[in-house]
Structure formats: C-alpha cells, structure tokens
C-alpha cells in the first residue's frame, strides 16, 4: 500500500539560520522537490523542526532494573508525544532491539548496559566489575551498542561517606582507547569534581550531569571538545536525595546540595567557555519520560539563548549523534508547532503534529 504524499508548509527550520517555506514527504522521506503527481496529498502547516533529541534517557529501565516490552513501549510513546523522536539510551540492561522494527516509535542510539564498579551503583542496572576487567567489558558493550559505551564514573563510597571516583585513571585510559578502537565513543555518569579530571586525561568523549565542573576542567573540556549533557531536570532532585541521606551520610548530602546550588552557574560557565552542550533528561530511572521541553527550558534558564537551546535539542544534537535532520532524502521524523520555537523555547511543550517515517501519528 502506497502512503499518501505529505506536504508540510509554513516555516521549515532546517537549521538555526536556514528556513524554507515547504517540504514534501514521499515514501516516508523528505524531498524539497514537489512530486509530479499531486494526487492523495495530505497537508500540514506550522513551524517545523526535525524530531527533538533526548540525548540521555533510558528505555526499558525503571527504578528497579529492566522492564518488559509493554512498559518500554509506553516509555517510548510518551517520549514520542513530547516530540523526542531520537533517543540516546544512556544505559539499560533491557534488550530493546525490537523497537528498531517499529516505525511508529522513536529511533534509539544505544550505549549498551552501564558499566560500574562493584557495589557502586544502583542495583540491577549495571555490569558491576573491577578495574582489571574494565577494558574487556567496554569492548563487549561497544559491540552491543550503537556507537556509545556508558561508564559510571563516580558514586557514593560508603566507607568515606561521599562521592568518590570509581576507576583508576590508568584503567580509564586503557578502556577508553579500547572503545575508540571498536569505533565507539564513551560517556560517563559523573557528579563530583575529581572524576572529571581523570576522564578528561583519559580522553573521554562526553560526560553526563557534569555538576562538578570547575575552572580547570571546564578549560580541559573546551580544549578537547568533550561534550556535556547536564540533565538539569534530574539535578533538580538533588535536595530530596540529600535529605534522605543526611542522617547517615551528611558529607555526601552537603556535597549534593552544593552541586545543586551552583548547577546553573556551572552550565553557564561551560557554555561560555565553548564546551558542547546537548539536551538530556535522564528519564527512565526515577524520572518519567516526556521531559524534553522542561529540559530545554532549564538550559535556557542556565543561560543558553533560545536558538542555542534548540540547537542542543535538535540540529546540533542530531549532528553530534551522526543522525540526519531535515536533509534531502532523510527519513521524515518531524515535529510541527503552531508558534515559532525560536521566539519562545516553551513552545516545545505543545507540539501540534508529530510525523514518524512520513506518517502523521498526531
């Protein structure tokens, strides 16, 4: 059965500085050339963006570990409804390859399963190993994922009662080189200050959260092009985590509150220094899915302009993940709004139409 031709009119935001009046979708793919036959044409209008990107979420995961396909499908549909049509799954123990066969669900870029130090992460989430096995597991997950590997860089050390790095620098250097040898990039969960120095020295590609950035690490990240995904919606939960930990781990609780109090200033300083920043929500563990618009608003609150927040959420993020946007011949994964998101980033919270593989699903 041949799908109808889709005619998208209005302001097609191909990039931050490129706007076209229309695109066509034929056979599920974008074209800027009008088809010779205009029979069976569906027309939609508005301001058009490539499908938004959530560069840090977890499909197939909840607070207790892997979930079944029905729950994972529901998570993906919530993200789709929010306009997030490209997801970097930043660590999940679930096998979600079946989603690739569903044209109605967002596209996934998987980082495999988290790799953590023994008893230094959330139960049932990660491979829990020791440093001598790190490179071996990194190679394994590099081959299982979609070009990314996810490490847990720091976590609470119950002996010291505070956040501490999980890996010796030498083990990180060997493991990251192994991932690069496999053609994969490495990202890492890091809250605190010290682990960031080790990861920068080891040649990491990206850091999740990055709340512990300071002047020296900001300079290192900017010089090396190390990206950050700040997950500011998630960092907003630090006070409640600190309150729960206060009695048993008061140093850890105070550290979290300090990181939380300077979260916007940290992101602003990184941005001003030229550190690449991309949008991610950390949905799927303790947070619900569908938070991409909230995270974009948080990035704007941290000092990114509306255009910069949109770049972190779509054009720039797609290029960084090596996935197409609104190019000729690309899959038609679009979000259409009835107001201009370049004027107000909160417009992202109200998509009018969502197009997946050329089909209007909303």
DSSP per-residue string spanning 332-354:
--EEEESS-TTT-GGGGG--SEE
pLDDT at 362: 87
Mean pLDDT of 297-324: 98
Q: Is pLDDT of 132 > 60?
A: yes
pLDDT at 1: 41
How large is the C-alpha radius of gyration of the chain? 21
Averaged pLDDT score across all residues of the chain: 96
Q: Is pLDDT of 44 > 70?
A: yes
- 115-122, Cβ contacts within 8 angstroms, sequence gap of 24 or more: 115/141, 115/149, 115/150, 115/151, 115/152, 116/151, 116/152, 116/155, 116/166, 117/152, 117/155, 117/166, 117/167, 120/152, 120/155, 120/156, 120/157, 120/166, 121/152, 121/155, 122/63, 122/285
The beta-strand segments (E) located in 200-298 are 206-209, 227-229
Name the token pair of 32.
């800027």
Mean pLDDT of 181-185: 98
pLDDT in tens, 250-269: 999 999 999 999 999 999 99
Q: From CA 198, how far away is CA 258, in angstroms rounded?
A: 21
Q: From CA 338, how far away is CA 316, in angstroms rounded?
A: 22
CA-closest candidate to residue 281, choices 53, 56, 82? 56
Mean pLDDT of 182-204: 98
Mean pLDDT of 1-26: 91
Task: Please give the DSSP secondary-structure letter assigned to residue 195.
Answer: H
| DSSP track, 84-114 | EEEEEE---SS--GGGGG-TTS-EEEE--S-
Q: Is pLDDT of 135 > 90?
A: yes
Task: Please give the DSSP secondary-structure letter assigned to residue 36.
Answer: S
Mean pLDDT of 341-353: 97
User: Cα 159 vs. chain centroid, distance in angstroms?
Assistant: 32
Mean pLDDT of 209-216: 98
Which band of pLDDT confidence, cut at 50, 70 and 90, is reported for residue 25? very high
Q: Is 191 exposed, middle or buried (CB count within 10 Å of its CB: 0-12, 13-18, 19+)?
A: buried
Which band of pLDDT confidence, cut at 50, 70 and 90, is reported for residue 33? very high
Mean pLDDT of 177-200: 98
pLDDT in tens, 66-117: 999 999 999 999 999 999 999 999 999 999 999 999 999 999 999 999 999 9
Q: From CA 302, how far away is CA 275, in angstroms rounded?
A: 14
Paired residues of 309 in beta bridges: none
pLDDT at 3: 66
Domains of the chain plus CATH, in order, are 5-49+325-360 (2.30.40.10), 52-320 (3.20.20.140)
Q: Is pLDDT of 145 > 90?
A: yes
Name the token pair of 297.
């608003």
Q: Is pLDDT of 245 > 90?
A: yes
Mean pLDDT of 294-311: 98
Q: Is pLDDT of 143 > 70?
A: yes
Q: Is pLDDT of 163 > 80?
A: yes
Q: Is pLDDT of 2 > 60?
A: no
Which band of pLDDT confidence, cut at 50, 70 and 90, is reported for residue 39? confident
């Amino acid at each position: 059965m041949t799908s109808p031709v889709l005619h998208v009119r209005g302001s097609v935001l191909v990039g931050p500085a490129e706007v076209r009046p229309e695109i066509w979708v034929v056979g599920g793919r974008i074209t800027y050339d009008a088809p010779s036959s205009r029979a069976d044409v569906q027309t939609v209008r508005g301001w058009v963006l490539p499908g938004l990107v959530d560069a840090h979420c977890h499909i197939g995961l909840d607070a207790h570990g892997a979930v079944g396909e029905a729950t994972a499908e529901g998570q993906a549909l919530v993200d789709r409804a929010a306009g997030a049509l490209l997801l970097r799954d930043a660590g999940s123990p679930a096998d979600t390859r079946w989603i690739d066969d569903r044209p109605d669900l967002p596209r996934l870029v998987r980082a495999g399963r988290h790799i953590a130090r023994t008893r230094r992460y959330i139960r049932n989430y990660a491979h829990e190993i020791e440093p001598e096995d790190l490179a071996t597991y990194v190679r394994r997950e590099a081959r299982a994922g979609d070009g990314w590997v996810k490490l847990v860089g720091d976590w609470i050390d119950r002996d010291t009662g505070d956040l501490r790095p999980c890996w010796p620098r030498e083990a990180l250097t060997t493991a990251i080189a192994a991932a690069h040898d496999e053609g994969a990039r490495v990202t890492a969960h890091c809250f605190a200050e010290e682990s960031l120095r080790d990861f920068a020295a080891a040649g990491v590609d990206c850091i999740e959260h990055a709340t512990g950035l300071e002047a020296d690490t900001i300079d290192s990240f900017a010089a090396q092009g190390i990206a950050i995904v700040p997950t500011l919606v998630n960092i907003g939960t630090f006070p409640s985590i600190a309150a729960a930990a206060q009695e048993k781990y008061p140093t850890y609780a105070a550290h979290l509150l300090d990181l939380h109090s300077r979260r916007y200033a940290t992101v602003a300083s990184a941005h001003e220094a030229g550190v690449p920043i991309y949008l991610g929500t950390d949905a799927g563990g303790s947070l619900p899915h569908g938070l991409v618009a909230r995270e974009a608003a948080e990035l704007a609150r941290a000092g990114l302009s509306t255009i910069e927040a949109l770049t972190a959420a779509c054009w720039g993020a797609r290029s960084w993940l090596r996935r197409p946007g609104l190019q000729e011949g690309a899959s038609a994964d679009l979000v259409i709004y009835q107001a201009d998101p370049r004027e107000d980033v909160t417009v992202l919270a109200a998509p009018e139409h969502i197009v997946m593989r050329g089909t209007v699903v909303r």
